[in-house]
Structure 1
Amino acid sequence: MNELMHYGWNTTWELEWEKEERSTHTAGRIIADFGQKYRVYTASGEIWGEMSGKMKHALLNGSTYPAVGDWVELQLLEGEDRCIIHGILDRKTCISRQKAGAKSAQEQIIAANVDILFLVTSLNDDYNPRRMERYLIMAWNSGVTPVILLSKADLCDDPEVKAAEMELIAPGVPVHAVSAIENRGKEEVTGYLKDGVTVALTGSSGCGKSTIVNWLADSTEQRTQGIREDDSRGRHTTTHRELFLLPSGGLMVDTPGMRELQLYDDDGGGWEQVFSDIEAIGEGCRFADCRHENEAGCAVLAALETGEIDEKRLQNYRKTQRELQFQVKKEERSQRKVNRKDRSAKEPVRRKSSFWNSRPHDE
């Protein structure tokens, strides 16, 4: 397993592996996701992988697809450049969002077993602190350590001011203004890229994620495209999720840009952590169930009047709260539907009695 250590394998994963008898199988890590096929790194090098029939059947019962960053149990096929994926080791962290366009609550996994998440936003007209609050909720819920990267600092006259603004909405979260063109901030960012540590990047389309990968890797591994001049929005460059081994020994996951981030759940308490300042002020409200809208004795509304709380931040606080509550309701409705189907499948089929059989017998 020594060859896997550069890809994050350690004693924790070793203990996880030894929980079950896997003598005929080997471990590997998903490094690229192409839909039904995966690129997997093993002790023998890279290989193509596909799910076993049992895994595909389990998807019908709610199991999840393998994701980039997953450690998986593999069966190597002798004489072939492919393997069969038989299982996924328990994830330590999982970055996910609500699947776009889904009528019911459906999780879309972006990457698994990530240690640090770079939240990237560019310092052009697309700069948006409210969007960053949403990304922070996702990060905290995923169990990863967030770091904010303000890319394209060469396009901004006051990157230090923007960095200070981000620090206000993300207390304790490191913020770095970076520029690949000016080679600005590289030393600070590479400090996170240590041997065996997995770092992922996420952000809106065209924010500079692929450029950052190339910059940190000193290569042109990822293609890049410019932004549209009319609205400062980017074009999609990365079309699939992929994990790279960097010269520093760290691992980096680049992901396709998001037009919109729909939050999936709040199991990790990310929403409360992101808006901890508003929550703390809310403890001074007259009523314990205060919604901070128009109630008498609301400490949050009083803080809004004095300027202690920014109005747009409070609006995002309410919006994301409603969104997460709605996702919970969608999940509950979805589960009730599944339960009804299960009950219907278990109920015996009752044959309808004929008219003559239903009549009383003649004496």
Structure 2
Amino acid sequence: MNEKLINLGFTEKLLQESTHCKGLYLGRVVAQYKDLYNVATEESEVLSEISGKLRYSSDELSDYPAVGDFVMVDREDERHGNAIIHQILTRKSIFVRRAAGTSNDVQVVAANIDTIFICMSLNNDFNLRRLERYLSIAWDSGAIPVVVLTKSDLCENLPLKLSEIEKIAIGVEIVVTSSMAEDGCSEVLKYISPGLTVAFIGSSGVGKSTLINRLLGEEVIETREIRKDDKGKHTTTRRELILIPSGGAVIDTPGMREIGVESVNLDKTFADIEEFSEHCKFKDCKHENEPGCAVRKAIEEGIITEERLQSYKKLKKEAKYEGLNSKQIEKEKIAEMFSGFGGIKNARDYIKSKNKSF
């Protein structure tokens, strides 16, 4: 496999999968427009559209190609018109959110990512509840979340902010950056190397584009000054995958101050609450006024805040996991994943037939 494909993130496993697609070429979606996609191939980048068969078989928005997807196309350049995307190769991770508006469609923000940088500035954008929301979706995606704190030069009490984040970002690495310092992105570079893909997620104006420009060594992405009310302006208007000169790829995404949840990982995001829940007197404890509630006791002792518990309950409700314990949530996810096989029982049978453990 050549250096171009490695840098795009292709693996031997993907190459093996692609051998079943005779007469087609490997590519990766690097930008997404309304009905078109820009696909990077071994030779160049080619404007592409999906085949009629793929469109017909796509029941949901999430079935369509997204930035980061590895795909099979019928040509490597545009000399004879737009390429046609015939197949999406197996995704190893997927960051999704509920689409804006009243639709229940699930929108793929980025696919096949190794690390998710959850960017949050240390000024008025600082919001612990929003961070919990991002973490719960990031852990569920299959990628590894890293909290990237920007604009540290604007923070008056950095140790206090770090202490607050460490209490909720359990098991997550935290990186502090400053756009003012020449080496402001040096810590970020440690997570990016050939073959790896990092997605930048966060609200508008937190400095995602500025950080990526630093990594690229030039002003590739437009940036704007922050508004007077300390809120960000939308600069990035579409998701885009960009190769880093030193190796690896990054995905820039539009700012998302509000992010609807489809599926979340509460075990990791709220590991403290989940652990205390194991010691509640009742298995179906709602952590309200029940006797012997270990979570309420932890709140009384100042170990967990009431705000964190309410955030946990809100995410559980939004993801339709309200009233379920962690084991029941996992069963619900698997049943949904294998709904096409007739639910959880047939999911077990299917996995066993593939010689996989369940």
Q: TM-score, normalised by structure 1?
A: 0.85
Compared CA separation, residues 86 and 98, structure 1 to 2 (3 A):
same
Instruction: Please say if residues 163 and 177 of structure 1, whose CA atoms lie closer than 8 Å, have aligned partners that are also in contact.
Output: no
Equivalent runs, 1:1-363 vs 2, <5 Å: 1-2=1-2, 3-18=4-19, 20=20, 22-60=21-59, 64-76=63-75, 79-104=79-104, 106-230=105-229, 232-266=230-264, 270-325=265-320
> Which residue of the partner structure matches residue 356 of structure 2?
none
What whole-Å deviation, never above 9, does each CA across 1:76-97 have from its counterpart, x for those lacking one?
1783253111110010100101
1:24, 1:63 → 2: CA distance?
A: 26
Q: Please tell me whether Structure 1 or Structure 2 has the larger radius of gyration of its CA atoms.
A: 1
Kept in 1: contact 2:209–2:223 (CA 8 A): yes
Which ranges of structure 1 fall in alignment gaps of 5 or more residues? 340-363
Aligned sequence identity (%): 44
Secondary structure of 2:212's aligned partner? helix
Distance 1:239 1:282, change over 3 A: same
Contact conserved, 2:313 with 2:322, CA < 8 A, in 1?
Answer: no
TM-score, length-scaled by structure 2: 0.86
- Residues 159 and 177 of structure 1 are in contact (CA less than 8 Å); yes or no, is this contact kept in structure 2? no
Most deviating of 279-288 and 249-258: 279-288
Distance in structure 1 (CA, Å) of the matches to 2:198 and 2:159: 24
Contact kept? 2:122, 2:150, Cα under 8 Å: yes
> Cα–Cα, structure 1 residues 326 and 168, in superposed 2: closer, same or farther, change >3 Å?
closer
Q: Secondary structure at the match of 1:124?
A: coil
User: What are the ranges of 5 or more consecutive residues in structure 2 without an aligned counterpart?
Assistant: 324-331, 341-358
1:316 Cα shift? 0.7
Tell me which amino acid in the other structure corresponds to 1:168. Answer: K
- Quote the Cα distance in structure 1 between the aligned partners of 2:301 and 2:36: 56
Instruction: Look up the SS of the partner of 1:322 in the other structure.
Output: helix
Is the 1:29–1:42 contact (alpha carbons within 8 Å) kept by the matching residues of 2?
Answer: yes
Are the equivalent residues in 2 in contact too, given 1:28–1:74 (CA < 8 A)? yes
CA RMSD, Structure 1 to Structure 2 (Å): 2.4
Tell me, what secondary structure is at the counterpart of 1:289? Answer: coil
Letter in 2 for 1:315: Q
**Which letter maps to 1:70?**
D
Write out per-residue CA displacement over residues 208-260 of structure 1, whole angstroms, 9 at most, x where no aligned residue: 11111111111111001122222x21111000010001111110000000130
Q: Tell me if structure 1 keeps the 8 A contact 2:177–2:185.
A: yes
| CA shift for structure 1 position 116 | 0.5
After superposition, give the CA deviation of every residue in 1:126-164 in whole Å (9 maximum; x if it has no partner): 201111000000111000011100011111122233223
Q: Is the 8 A contact 1:176 1:185 kept in 2?
A: no
CA contact (8 A) 2:198 2:251 kept: yes
Letter in 2 for 1:201: F
Deviation at 1:75, TM superposition (A): 0.4
Contact 2:47 2:78 in 1 (8 A): no
Partner Cα distance (2:110, 2:62) in 1: 16
Question: For residue 192 of structure 1, what is the amino acid of its counterpart?
Answer: Y
Displacement of 1:37: 0.7
1:195, CA displacement in angstroms? 0.7
